[in-house]
């Protein structure tokens, strides 16, 4: 019989955390385009940690502690910064062994919202490390919220698609997780309908149009590669560190 303690929930945006049971639950933050993809890719490539911060001022101030400031706003590198949140950039050898102070439009805000809501554990995931993240959720079962970062408080197609992939992997494997919320089934259905052609599916999202107009299609195509960077992030103290390997 399923363990009724393993409630699986989906929140489409950080604003929806108020309608979910977060206390004593694990929250998995998802921002496919591009924050959590960049974090997973960077950690896999040897970045020591990412410190998620809310403002550009906080990111710049951490340079005094040896962090490299990185900031994205509206899909672009923020003014005054050399680095944004490109997963391809963070895979460059120059970043190996470094610490990144990262602020983004949506993803880092979602991370702070999860912490403020009382999550017992916070992970970040991406399509790039889907299977290892599912293994972690399997091997260490606990009530879980799959949190989409959204776009400025609005529903995000691509984050919900990834939430659906995770929900499918957990519910279909009879791991003791159960859902009592139609948001889980909606996300799962989205994944079931589009899982065989993610590259086409991602092009249906509004954020694809924003990033493509800025010439970032290479980043987008990288973000939908399944298991290309077998890694997820784990928040330990203030920093996201490798959660696998």
pTM of the model as a whole: 0.96
In a domain, 219, yes or no: yes
Tell me whether the omega of the peptide bond preceding residue 34 falls within 30 degrees of 0, making it cis: yes
How many other C-beta atoms lie within 10 A of the C-beta of residue 14? 24
Q: How far is residue 122's CA from residue 12's CA, in Å, rounded to a whole number?
A: 16
In a domain, 67, yes or no: no
CATH number at residue 118: 3.90.1560.10
In a domain, 103, yes or no: no
Q: Which residues pair with 68 in a beta bridge?
A: 100
In a domain, 87, yes or no: no
Which residues lie below 8 Å from residue 213, measured CB to CB, with a gap of 6+?
A: none
What is the per-residue pLDDT for 1? 35
Using DSSP, state whether 100 is helix, strand or coil: strand
Low-confidence stretches of the chain (pLDDT beneath 70):
1-5, 245
What is the per-residue pLDDT for 4? 56
Count of domains for the chain: 1
Q: Which residues pair with 216 in a beta bridge?
A: none
Q: How far is residue 37's CA from residue 198's CA, in Å, rounded to a whole number?
A: 15
In a domain, 1, yes or no: no
What is the per-residue pLDDT for 245? 52
What is the per-residue pLDDT for 3? 45
What is the per-residue pLDDT for 240? 98
53-91 pLDDT, tens digit per residue, is 999 999 999 999 999 999 999 999 999 999 999 999 999
What is the per-residue pLDDT for 237? 97
In a domain, 124, yes or no: yes
């Amino acid at each position: 019989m399923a363990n009724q303690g393993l409630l699986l929930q989906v929140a489409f945006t950080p604003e929806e955390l108020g309608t979910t049971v977060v206390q004593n639950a694990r929250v998995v933050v998802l921002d496919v385009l591009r924050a959590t993809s960049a974090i997973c890719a960077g950690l896999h490539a040897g970045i020591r940690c990412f410190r998620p911060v809310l403002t550009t001022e906080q990111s710049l101030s951490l340079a005094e502690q040896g962090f490299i400031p990185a900031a994205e706003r509206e899909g672009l590198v923020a003014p005054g910064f050399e680095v944004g949140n490109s997963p391809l950039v963070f895979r460059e050898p120059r970043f190996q062994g470094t610490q990144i102070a990262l602020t983004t439009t949506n993803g880092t805000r979602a991370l702070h919202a999860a912490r403020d809501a009382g999550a017992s554990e916070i992970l970040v995931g991406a399509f790039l490390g889907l299977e290892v993240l599912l293994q972690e959720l399997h091997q260490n079962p606990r009530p879980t919220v799959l949190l989409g970062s959204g776009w400025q408080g609005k529903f995000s197609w691509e984050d919900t698609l990834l939430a659906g992939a995770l929900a499918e992997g957990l519910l279909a494997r009879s791991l003791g997780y159960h859902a009592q919320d139609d948001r889980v089934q909606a996300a799962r259905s989205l994944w079931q309908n589009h899982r065989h052609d993610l590259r086409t599916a991602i092009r249906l999202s509004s954020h694809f149009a924003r990033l493509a107009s800025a010439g970032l299609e290479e980043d987008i195509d990288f973000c939908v590669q399944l298991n290309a960077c077998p890694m997820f992030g784990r928040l330990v103290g203030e920093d996201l560190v490798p959660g696998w390997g």
